[in-house]
Structure formats: C-alpha cells, structure tokens
Amino acid sequence: MERNTLMMYFPLVDFNSFFTFARQGAPRMATTAGGRNRFVNWLDQPGHDRDLIGGKAASLGRLASLGAPVPPALALTTRAYAEFAGANALPRSVADITPIELPTLRASIMTAPLPGSIAGAIAHVHEIFAMGREDVPSLAVRSSGTAEDSAAFSFAGLHDTVLDVRRAEDLERAIRQCWMSLWSDRAVAYRLERGMATDVSNIAVVIQELVRSDVSFVAFTSDPVTHASDQVVIDATWGLGESIVCGLVVPDHITIANDGDQPEYVIGEKHLMVIPGDESGGGTRTVPVPRSLRRQPVLSSSQACEIAQIARTVSRSLGFEADLEGGIASGVIHLFQARPITTLGSGPDILERAPGVEVGDRQPTAGAPIATASYLSMSQE
C-alpha cells in the first residue's frame, strides 16, 4: 500500500532501472529565431555574458554547451530588471537605500507597473513553453545574480527560486519575486560585507522546464568538509531537491572514491518529500514519504557511481571543483546547475532558498550530511 502511495506521486518511475546520462538532441528552445532578443537569451546559444544573464544562467549555458542534459531554459536578462527599475525610479545600489526602506522597496517591486515591452516579453516566453502542449507548462523560475556562482562569490540561498509555475500571470509574479529577493535583508548584508555597496545591483532570471524529479541529488567533486579531492560526495532524496537544500530531511549520504566502484552509503531518515503542487494551483507541497521507503536507499551502487562519473566529467570540462544539483525523472539524469565550490573546509554555499523558507530557520539533526551542515554554516556567517 505504501509503495502504491509513492507511485501516485511518481507514476512513471521504474525503481529497478539504472539511470542514464542521456545526451539530448537539439532542445526545443533552439528553434526560436536567433535564440536572443533584448530581454531574452536562450541558454543553448554560445557566448553568454554573465553581466547580461547572471551566474546561474551562464553556468547552465556552459553545461548545455558540453552536451549535458540541461532542461530547456532561457534567461530574462538584466536589461529587463534595469529597465523596470529605471521606469519606476527604484534604487540601483545598496548605497542608495537605508535598511528601513527595504520593505517598501520590496513591496514596490511586486506591485510597480511593468513597461509594456517587458510584459510582452514575459507573455511571449510563456507562450513558447506552452507551444505544442496539451496541458499548461510547468516551469522552474530561478534568480541569477550577476556575481552569483562565480569563483569568488556564491550568493546561494540569498535569492529566490519559485517552482511549478504554470500560468502566465504566475510567471510574472515569480519573476518579480526573484527581482525582489535581490533586496532581501540577507542579500543586501552579503553585498555590504563584501564591499559591493556602490556596485549597481542587477539580476537576471532563469526560466526552464521543471523536471518533476523522482529523485534529487547534490554532488560535490571534492569533499567540502574534509578537503579530500579523491572522492565524490552525494546527498540524495525522494522528490524535488528543496527537501535537501532547505534541511527538511537527512538525505542519503554517499561517498565514492575516484579509484573505486564501491560507494560508502549511509541511509538517511527521509521522512518528507517535496513534490509539485496540484494540477490547478501549481507550486509545491510537502508530503510524508511512505514508511517502507524512508530507510530504503534512494540510489543503487551503480546509480551512485554513474552520478559520480558525470560529476567528474563535468568538473574536468568546466575546469573547477564543482557543486552540482540535479534530478532523475523516469530513469534519466538531468542537471540543473553547476558552480565552483567556493568554501572548501567550511562547507560550500550550495543552497537555493525555497519560497516561504527563511535561510537558517532549520537546524541539521545529528549526523546531518554536508548539504544540511553547509546550510547552517552559511546561515551563521
């Protein structure tokens, strides 16, 4: 009965199959004219400018150029936010605003009128993702700051992600939420602490097809706690990855030596999972994991080794020790982002805050793996 309950959430999963690193053909997004316009850059196009599309989008573009299985994605460029801010006389740097004014600024971002050109671009983006579908699209909307995911700065956990966005009006609201997160108390404090007070604050937004992951994982090509560079470390759990990055669960924790094929596997207490919302409302919901699956390994040894090999290959191609986030749907591995591990020794800044969850409001349990421990480490900086 409990297994049937899980299959209600994941009707296409073959729990006995091996996951494969599928090489995708030309993604649907490549069919758009030129792949770019003033406000929109499709990420399968070469030569992306971090100042225009932000760090997260630039990393996704590099992954796509390597032939990695990145879901179809585009960036709403920093030009869109800059034009919106200019049209509404919004401050552009931390030095232009006081802390007491931040709540008013955030409210203005959510309600100020969009220039018609930007509103039209957002509506067109939704139409493109809906093209050829019988149902409404399901989208992931992720902030992409211009200094984000660089070798020097991470910003992870400071900017918002909104999942399972379906309607055009919800897409506009999600984009505004990402823009608004540029001015969260913690994001502003982060820029102040790093001498960025007078820098123009800019942000792009990644919009991509949501992978309805049966299993989600975070993989590190170097152990961020022990400094060991001869192993890959993976945290994995059922459902969408927000249950890992928000500290909702203690996921399975797997360590794989570079010269071995026998993972060291510690099964976590995966009592909750995050899944897409209902058909009408979108969003996400947190549900119990059936008891019989809480102490079952999410990955087989072969599957863990395959993810480790993918992580090593991507890391070598990118030229840095990498922190990757991904998911598995219907037996196929997808990568959602890759960034440098910027804080080896104290735990990397790996987390993307889910809507409604404040960074640092969850404590890791005893024996918590790296993803959760890093979450706490970052929140105490």
Report CA-CA distances (Å) from 52 to 40, 47, 85, 139, 159.
10, 11, 15, 21, 17
Residue 39 in any domain: the answer is no
pLDDT at residue number 251: 95
Residues 188 and 108 both lie in one domain? yes
Quickly state the pLDDT bin for 139 (edges 50, 70, 90). very high
The pair of structure tokens assigned to 328 is 């598995």
Of 41-50, 156-165, 181-190, 279-288, which has the strongest mean pLDDT? Answer: 181-190
Residue 120 belongs to what domain range? 73-209
CATH of the domain at 220: 3.30.470.20
Q: Flag whether 165 is in a domain.
A: yes
What number of residues does the chain have?
A: 381
Q: Which phi-psi region, left, alpha or beta, contains residue 250 (left: φ > 0; alpha: ψ -120 to 50)?
A: beta
pTM: 0.77
Contacts for 71 with CB less than 8 Å, ≥ 6 apart: 140, 208, 209, 210, 211, 334, 336
pLDDT surpasses 90 at 135: no
153 domain residue, yes or no? yes
Beta strands in the chain (DSSP E): 40-42, 73-76, 139-145, 161-165, 203-209, 215-220, 231-238, 252-257, 264-266, 272-276, 284-288, 322-329, 332-340
Tell me what pLDDT residue 175 has.
98
Name the domain boundary from 187, 209, 231. Answer: 209
Is residue 23 predicted with pLDDT exceeding 90? Answer: no
Number of domains in the chain: 2
Residues 6+ apart with CB under 8 A from 66: 314, 317, 318
Flag whether 226 is in a domain: yes
Between CA 276 and CA 163 the distance in angstroms is 8
Residue 53: inside a domain, yes or no? no
Residues 172 and 186 in one domain: yes
pLDDT band at 247 (very low <50, low <70, confident <90, very high): confident
